[in-house]
Structure 1
Amino acid sequence: MKMRILISVIALTIISCNNQEETITTSANLASTQTETTVHPKSQRNKEICWTGTLNGKIPIFIHYQVDGNILVGEITYLNTRDKQPIKLLGTIEAGKSYRLLEFDIAGNITGVIEGTPSEKEFNGSWFSPKTQKELEMKLLPNDTLIASPSIKADPDQSFGEYHYQYGEDGYSGKLAFNKAGDGKAVFDILSLTNVERGPNIAEVEKDTIAFSSDSFIYKIPDSDSCEFKVAFYKGFAYINYTKNYCVGQFGLNATIDGIYLKTK
């Protein structure tokens, strides 16, 4: 008798779980599903973190992203535009848990910079345009739209190509070229420019051949004291960061190679 009761309980549990279906939304149909809520913005497993709110109290926006270590990958949609076309967002979690998200167009131009520190109930900060130099206040609340997180991992063969970023027409820029050089080898070089208006200051890593078989590599600049950096590849972009603080004295004034580079070719 006890065994029959136990089997019945298990059967009811399975039926109940199967009836709890979850609706997943893609970024293509966000406009009809966006509602403000006070849910905790922490990411569910394989789900994006979503926010909705305004810039300068007037421009309605929707943001979603996933978190991978200190990397942020997602999209921003301006809801007052006709086509409501999502724009790629790539960013990092900085010291003090502040977020820095960059809007990228397909050519690697950075069209907007978002900075702020999200909490459980709000994500407030600023939005800045490198083109117009205009800064707007940003206020966001959690959004209960469910979006499945796509994989951002790149296999080694997908990593080869050209990467670029550019802050406005005359702003800071950077290029990373990464090409296959035989089995288990790759050749790369990096060039970044800063202070362009007063004559460019340069951060350059000359072309070199390295061993490469995963989705990242660490490189120490020859003849430098401790100028070492890591290049990590993801689907559609690369992230360069120093492993032993900044390379003091290695490059031109304020010139640096660290940052996010969008894959353009």
Structure 2
Amino acid sequence: MRSLLTGVLLCTSLAAPVVAEALSFAVNDPSGQYQVEVLFPQEPETPYQLVPALITLRDHHTLETLQQLRTPAGNLSTQRDDNSLMWLLGPYGLVNFIDFNNDGRLDLVIRNGSSEAGDQSRFDVYLQDGQKPQWVLNEALTDLATQSSSGLFTVNPTDGTLHSQTNSGCCQITSTQWALRDGQLIRLHAYTQEEVSPSTWNDTSSMPRGYMLRTTGELKDGQWHEQTRLEGPVTEDPQMLRGLLNGKIPVELWYQDQGAVLIGEVRYTKGGNGQPIKLLGFRDSFDEVDNTVVLLEIADDGRKTGIWRMTRATSEPYVYSGTWISGTKGDARELAISLHDEERAPEMGKLYDVPRDQRSGHYQVRNDFLGRDGDLALKILPDRDAQGRELAEVTVKLRDTATSTEIVTEHHIVPMAADNLIIVQTPQAPEKNGPYHIQLVKNFAVIAYNYATDSQDMLTGVYRKQP
């Protein structure tokens, strides 16, 4: 005798197994076409142990046996609720019904083990025969499910296309759209995002942190076409802060991570002219344990007026503490920082990437920490190279602040590595310093090498955009 419980049909064996140590369950599929009976010869010894199972598919109305299938490694919940068999039938359950090929017939998914690491479920995929209600293992779809990082792909109910995502290691994701035609998979579109490692001191290029290599592929007229481009940097949500300097000077400050650099603003709310001062900064380390940031106050003419060095506490109330140091030579002031998070809306126009039409122009730094003035003239040319990349004309001049003596001049026409990144692999000023890059952010151009500046003739600097 069977009893109907909230739309799910359960065998009386739930209370007392027919065979010692065996468990059996029955459930109706949501469409009302099939009844699924599952027999587990033995109960798992541990909560997450996978065990063999015999699956019997019946016609819901006549209870005629349609087919029997087996899995050597099915999931049996050890915390079963008689009112819910979601672990048995449904997405990522032991059994699930989905129309994979958009033919109006329900196909079948059966759990069959886990990945080698044990962190992803594995499934066998069966397509329903077009002539009779029986299911045939489809190798192509089973392989696709195995390759998918979630253990299974998804189906777009509108057009019947399949979508899979594969994660490779820590830093690469591939998303692919497929069509199932005559039992075979056809790749329609693919998108791969791969993190590009930042350059080290002895590399022949100069790649900053936070950029991604993105490859887009598409099937057109029977031919597969791919395009790869460098994009980035990866940005984080802005940190909105408020607090005091030296226990008595009120300030508002925000900053945003943009790959290797930070942009932001600080406003002295009861001092000066009340206008925000632009910030450009860096992290001491990209270790998640180290929350120290260094933010430079940069005046409109490119002079550094202050240095914010602060660390976020790792426990509530997560206060930012540290020291503000005057950036003006001869001013030895050091003031204690005490800031806290504040819920206020950022000005979205000040965040994220620099607009393409605002990249060209004159940038300058004045009286930097090596006593130099620097000027950068940047022009994005209308021409493109053979690979279709934009070309940038770059002229950088450094001179001694005190004497105006020229230190070095460099001029290049080079392809843009990304919309906001220029990499100079063969520098002229001088070659011994190695390759460098120019990263463009709102209001600034940041020139950096693969190692810390240790020479007057290195172009390193935070160059402020001029009107």
The answer, yes or no, to whether TM exceeds 0.5 is: yes
The count of corresponding residues between Structure 1 and Structure 2 is: 216
What letter corresponds to residue 261 of structure 1 in structure 2? Y
**Contact in 2 for aligned 1:48/1:149 (Cα 8 Å):** no
Q: Does 1:89 align with 2:279?
A: yes
Hey, which of these two has a bigger chunk of strand by percent? Answer: 2
Q: Which residue of 2 aligns with 1:118?
A: 312
Q: Distance in 1 between matches of 2:273 and 2:362?
A: 29
CA gap 1:46/1:137 in 2 versus in 1, 3 angstroms: closer
What letter corresponds to residue 216 of structure 1 in structure 2? L
Cα deviations by residue, 1:11-43 (Å, 9 ceiling, x for unpaired)? xxxxxxxxxxxxxxxxxxxxxxxxxxxxxxxxx
CA gap 1:206/1:117 in 2 versus in 1, 3 angstroms: same
TM-score (norm 2): 0.41
Q: Which residue of 2 aligns with 1:261?
A: 463
Identity of aligned residues (%): 25
Q: Which residue of 2 aligns with 1:209?
A: 413
| Secondary structure of 1:76's aligned partner | strand
**Contact in 2 for aligned 1:103/1:111 (Cα 8 Å):** yes
Q: Does 1:102 align with 2:292?
A: no
Whose radius of gyration is greater, 1 or 2?
2
Pairwise CA distance, 1:117: 2.3
Q: Does 1:73 align with 2:73?
A: no
Among 421, 433, 437, the residue aligned to 1:230 = 437
Q: Which has the higher contact order (CA 8 A, sep 6+)?
A: 1
Q: Distance in 2 between matches of 1:210 and 1:231?
A: 11
Pairwise CA distance, 1:224: 2.1
Q: Which residue of 2 aligns with 1:17?
A: none
Pairwise CA distance, 1:186: 2.6
What letter corresponds to residue 306 of structure 2 in structure 1? G
Hey, which of these two has a bigger chunk of helix by percent? Answer: 1
**Contact in 2 for aligned 1:109/1:166 (Cα 8 Å):** yes
**Contact in 1 for aligned 2:433/2:458 (Cα 8 Å):** no
Q: Distance in 2 between matches of 1:246 and 1:46?
A: 25
CA gap 1:62/1:154 in 2 versus in 1, 3 angstroms: closer
Pairwise CA distance, 1:225: 4.5
Pairwise CA distance, 1:75: 1.3
CA gap 1:154/1:174 in 2 versus in 1, 3 angstroms: same
Q: Which residue of 2 aligns with 1:13?
A: none
**Contact in 1 for aligned 2:359/2:380 (Cα 8 Å):** no
Q: Which residue of 2 aligns with 1:21?
A: none
| Secondary structure of 1:106's aligned partner | coil
**Runs of at least 5 residues in structure 2 that lack an aligned partner in the other structure:** 1-5, 8-29, 31-234, 385-390
**4+ residue runs of structure 1 moved beyond 4 angstroms?**
199-203
Cα deviations by residue, 1:92-137 (Å, 9 ceiling, x for unpaired)? 1133553121222322232222112223412111112222342222
Matches within 5 A, 1:35-184: 47-81=237-271, 84-95=274-285, 97-120=291-314, 121-131=318-328, 132-147=331-346, 149-150=348-349, 151-167=351-367, 171-184=371-384
| Secondary structure of 2:383's aligned partner | coil
Q: Which residue of 2 aligns with 1:41?
A: none
